[in-house]
Amino acid sequence: MRITEIWASSRKPTVSFELFPARSEKAAGSLDKAIDELAALKPDFAAVTFGAGGSTREGSRQLVDRLKHEKGLEVIAYLAGYGLAPDDIVAVLDGYKGIGVENILIVRGDPPREEGFQPHPDSLAHATGLLAFILRRYDFCAGVAGYPEGHIEAESKEKDLEYLKRKIDAGAEYIIANYFYDNQFFCDFTERARAAGISAPILPGVMPIYSVKMMEMLAGLCGAAITDEVRQGISALPDGDTEALQAFGIDFAARQCAELLDAGAPGLHFYTMDRSASVVGIVNRLRSERRL
């Protein structure tokens, strides 16, 4: 089923999770556990990332296949096109089509960190061109990423929104937003998008606080502001108390999600980092409050 059809037919806000392919045997064990526990929540759909430069190409396809056919989940397959040859893009998408994928999320992607990587000379440098290339050949329900605080490389929020509008005009049907710790960023972003003529569903991304180190690292990579409320809440916790940090993260994210739902968000998209405990705690709390 197309993701837009799920939103159109759902009486409640949707719940969805992002997962990424495991890169080691230990990570595979953690991923297996996360899949089982997250699938037990009966999400409306899941999403699978695609490594820079196609580095997880086969692993991404296998994980999509597993979620669809072993767990019975609808899946959004991400495609990060940076550096890929057009023939490689076609091969990846033919593979997804062959296992029944109907939904994709198209992003430029980051340059691979591997030394010596060279983008293919015919690669598509921007998501807008990638969208046009794909939708001329396939009938996927295609989505794109949105950045409530502006993309970290954007010269301004206004310019970033202009690029987003181009993606919608090129055929994107939905937007999945990067995470944020202050809901006002998302509300302002949605308001500006609507004023710019973007009517596509905008799904907020939620990143639970898994560890202080991870929080700082991810915020630095994507430009998400860590608010005073978050920093002060963490500083009040006992040093090194991982259980207290997890409980704080669940409480903070559950309140954040409740506010987003009250503001009319069509659903909640959790960036799980292939972990399950915090997301299970958040979703169960929201369901106990009859918000989901």
* Helix axis angle, 277-288 to 242-262, nearest 10°: 50
> What pLDDT is stored for residue 116 in this prediction?
65
> What pLDDT is stored for residue 57 in this prediction?
83
**pLDDT tier, 66 (very low <50, low <70, confident <90, very high otherwise):** very high
* Averaged confidence pLDDT in the chain: 94
Please say whether the dihedral angle defined by the alpha carbons of residues 145, 148, 150 and 152, taken in this order, is positive or negative: negative
Cα–Cα distance, 129 to 19 (Å, whole number): 26
DSSP letters spanning 223-248: T----HHHHHHHHTSPTT-HHHHHHH
Query: Hey, is 18 helix, strand or coil?
Result: strand
> What pLDDT is stored for residue 112 in this prediction?
67
Catalytic: which of 5, 18, 173, 243? Answer: 18
Alpha-carbon separation of residue 62 from 54, 65, 92, 95, 96 (angstroms) = 14, 5, 12, 10, 10
> What pLDDT is stored for residue 51 in this prediction?
80
> What pLDDT is stored for residue 194 in this prediction?
98
Check if 18 is active-site: yes
> What pLDDT is stored for residue 140 in this prediction?
98
The DSSP bridge partners found for residue 75 are: 46
- Residue among 269, 197, 203, 283 nearest 17 (CA): 269
The pLDDT tens digits of the residues spanning 74-87 come to 999 999 888 888 99
The pLDDT tens digits of the residues spanning 7-64 come to 999 989 999 999 999 988 889 999 999 999 999 999 999 999 988 666 788 999 999 9
Judged against a pLDDT cut of 70, whether residue 182 lies above it is answered with yes
> What pLDDT is stored for residue 134 in this prediction?
95
Query: Do the strands 103-107 and 141-146 form a parallel or antiparallel pair, or are they unpaired?
Result: parallel
> What pLDDT is stored for residue 121 in this prediction?
79
> What pLDDT is stored for residue 55 in this prediction?
75
Place of tokens 């369901």: 287
Pick from 25-29, 119-123, 127-131: least confident: 119-123
Helices marked H in 136-199: 157-169, 183-195
- Residue among 55, 73, 69 nearest 18 (CA): 73
Is the separation of the CB atoms in 74 and 114 below 8 Å?
no
> What pLDDT is stored for residue 235 in this prediction?
97
Q: What is the mean pLDDT of residues 159-185?
A: 97
Q: What is the mean pLDDT of residues 127-139?
A: 93
> What pLDDT is stored for residue 216 in this prediction?
97
Judged against a pLDDT cut of 70, whether residue 114 lies above it is answered with no
Q: H-helix or E-strand containing 76?
A: strand 75-80
Please say whether the dihedral angle defined by the alpha carbons of residues 74, 181, 178 and 146, taken in this order, is positive or negative: positive
Q: How many other CB atoms are found less than 10 A from the CB of residue 22?
A: 18
Judged against a pLDDT cut of 90, whether residue 256 lies above it is answered with yes
- Report the length, in residues, of the chain: 292
- 231 Cβ contact list (under 8 Å, min separation 6): none
3.40.50.620, 3.20.20.220, 2.40.37.10, 3.40.190.170: CATH of 3-288: 3.20.20.220
Cα–Cα distance, 57 to 87 (Å, whole number): 14
Q: What is the mean pLDDT of residues 242-271?
A: 98
